[in-house]
A = this chain, B = another copy of it.
Amino acid sequence: MYFTKSFIPILKNNPTEAKIKSHQLMLRIGMIKQSSAGIYSWLPLGFKVMKKIEQIVREEQNRIGVQEILMPTIQSSDIWKESGRYEDYGEEMLRIKDRQNREMLYGPTNEELVTEIFRSSIKSYKSLPQLLYHIQWKFRDELRPRFGIMRCREFYMKDAYSFDLNDEEALFSYNKFFLSYLKTFKRLELSAIPMAADTGPIGGNLSHEFVILAETGESKIYTDKRIFEVNSDNTKLEKKSLSVLRNKFEEFYAVTDEKYNEKDFMEKVNDKYRLNTKGIEVGHIFYFGDKYSKPMNASVDFKGQKQFVKMGSYGIGVSRLVGAIIEAKYDDKNEIMKWPISVAPYECVIIPAITKNDDSNLVKANKVSNLLNDKNIDIIIDDTDENFSAKMKKFNLIGIPFQILIGKNTEGDLLEFREIGKESQKLKINQIIEIINSKKK
Contact = CB atoms under 8 A, between A and B. Distances in A.
A137 B37 CA distance: 20
Given A98-B141, A132-B7, A30 B69 contact: no
Nearest to A78: B36
Interface string A64-83: 01011111111110100000
A99 B91 contact: yes
Interface of A: 4-7, 9, 30, 33, 35-37, 39-44, 47-48, 50, 65, 67-76, 78, 91-92, 94, 96, 98-100, 102, 104, 106, 113, 116-117, 120-122, 126-127, 130, 132, 137, 139, 141, 143, 153-154
Nearest to A68: B47
Nearest to A30: B121
Contacts of A42: 69-71
13 contacts: A7-B69, A7-B132, A33-B117, A33-B120, A33-B121, A35-B75, A37-B100, A39-B74, A39-B75, A40-B72, A41-B70, A91-B99, A94-B99
Contact of A139 (B44, B74, B113): B74
Contacts of A102: 36-37
A141 B76 contact: no
Given A69-B44, A99-B141, A76 B36 contact: yes
A107 to B, nearest CB: 10
Given A35-B75, A91-B99, A141-B98, A43 B4 contact: no
Given A70-B47, A73-B73, A127 B4 contact: yes
Given A35-B75, A154-B74, A121 B68 contact: no
B96 A43 contact: no
Contacts of A48: 68
Contacts of A117: 33, 35, 41, 43
Contact of A69 (B41, B75, B127, B141): B41
Given A36-B76, A94-B96, A96-B96, A71 B30 contact: no
How many monomers of this chain does the complex have? Answer: 2
B70 A9 contact: no
Contacts of A74: 36, 39, 94, 106, 139, 153-154
B7 A121 contact: yes
Contacts of A47: 68-70
Given A35-B75, A91-B99, A113 B154 contact: no
Contacts of A39: 72, 74-76
Given A91-B99, A94-B98, A141-B98, A72 B121 contact: no
Contacts of A98: 94, 141
Most B CB contacts (10 A, CB to CB) among A78, A96, A143, A154 go to A96
Contacts of A37: 100, 102
Contact of A35 (B44, B76, B126): B76
Contacts of A78: 36
A120 B41 CA distance: 13
B6 A67 contact: yes
Contacts of A143: 99
Nearest to A9: B121
Nearest to A127: B4
Nearest to A98: B141
Given A7-B121, A137-B137, 17 more contacts: A4-B127, A7-B67, A7-B69, A9-B120, A35-B71, A35-B116, A35-B117, A36-B74, A41-B69, A41-B113, A44-B68, A47-B70, A72-B137, A73-B73, A74-B153, A94-B99, A96-B96
A104 B39 CA distance: 11
Most B CB contacts (10 A, CB to CB) among A7, A50, A65, A126 go to A7
A10 to B, nearest CB: 10
A72 B35 contact: yes
A94 B96 CA distance: 8
Given A6-B67, A121-B9, A41 B99 contact: no
Contact of A71 (B41, B73, B76): B41
B35 A113 contact: yes
